[in-house]
Amino acid sequence: SPGPPGYENYLYIMIFVPMAAVLIICLLATFTVINRKKNSDRLGNGVLYASVNPEYFSAAEMYVPDEWEVLREKITMNRELGQGSFGMVYEGVAKGVVKDEPETCVAIKTVNESASMRERIEFLNEASVMKEFNCHHVVRLLGVVSQGQPTLVIMELMTKGDLKSHLRSLRAKDPSQSYSLNLPPLKKIIQMAGEIADGMSYLNANKFVHRDLAARNCMVADDYTVKIGDFGMTRDIYETDYYRKGGKGLLPVRWMSPESLKDGVFTTTSDVW
């Protein structure tokens, strides 16, 4: 027989309210776990670390935000420039990263969203190397966005791209038409070589070994000035004057000096090679 008036509504409430409560609790628990995982790699002061045990840090396993940090809202990405070693590189605009310039056209390097914390810190440590440089023939770092995702490195925009691609773009698709190429005059080619040498001399004087000097890692500005770039393999050798490669990291075998290939030793002299 039917129950008293309102019985069905009461029954629905008794069934669905506990179910809804359980669902909400599950969602909150899931959100908490995800949020805790995201923040587990960051100390309270914004420091990023890659070590499984935070009691055993090394300088290469952590990144500390400093005066180079830029607010994310000051960065605007406009278009893709190409794929970098860690992720996509974009052309964009940054506000307040250059003195007396309200806005500056910049290159924005990103790290893949799927990258591990260690890879993100390697990406930021490459930028940290560039914080030490102040030379006209070395690509300038303009800022870093380490807080939140994605991690960004803001650099001087080199509109003509890398030297290797730039020189290849001047090749004739048909060898019979090579006479019609707009090749740089010999004087300009010698100037480019001098600019690269000046940039490397600066690194040498400041006790840095690049380890991966090649045309693909030299960048060309809008006025065709060539600058040293891509410092993913650069190391500070101030203490020992040489760097010995450990582990099984990737190396630019085609461009390495004999002593680097044989013994894994990198010096400013092997950079010259």
Rg (CA), the chain: 26
Residue 191 annotated in ligand binding: no
**Tokens encoding 86:** 């860690």
Residue 162 annotated in ligand binding: yes
Going by their DSSP bridges, the two strands 208-209 and 152-156 should be labelled as unpaired
Annotate 136-169 with DSSP letters as a single string: TTBPPEEEEE-SSSS-EEEEE--TT-BHHHHHHH
* 212 tagged catalytic: yes
Residue 259 annotated in ligand binding: no
Annotate 44-84 with DSSP letters as a single string: TTS-EE--SSTTS--GGGEE---TTB--GGGEEEEEEEEE-
Residue 201 annotated in ligand binding: no
What is the C-alpha to C-alpha distance for residues 180 and 183, in angstroms, rounded to an integer?
Answer: 9
**Tokens encoding 142:** 């303009």
Residue 157 annotated in ligand binding: yes
Residue 83 annotated in ligand binding: yes
Tell me the Ramachandran region of residue 112: left when phi exceeds 0, alpha when psi lies from -120 to 50, beta otherwise. Answer: beta
The closest alpha carbon to 86, from 47, 51, 46, 126, belongs to: 126
Which residues, including other chains, have CB under 8 Å from residue 88's CB and lie 6 or more apart?
Answer: 80, 82, 110
Going by their DSSP bridges, the two strands 62-63 and 75-83 should be labelled as unpaired
Q: Which of 41, 100, 198, 212 is catalytic?
A: 212
Residue 267 annotated in ligand binding: no
Q: Specify whether the CB–CB gap between 126 and 139 falls below 8 A.
A: no
Catalytic residue set: 212
Question: Per the annotation, where are the binding residues for ATP?
Answer: 82-89, 109, 156-162, 216
Which residue ranges make up the annotated binding site for Mg(2+)? 217, 230
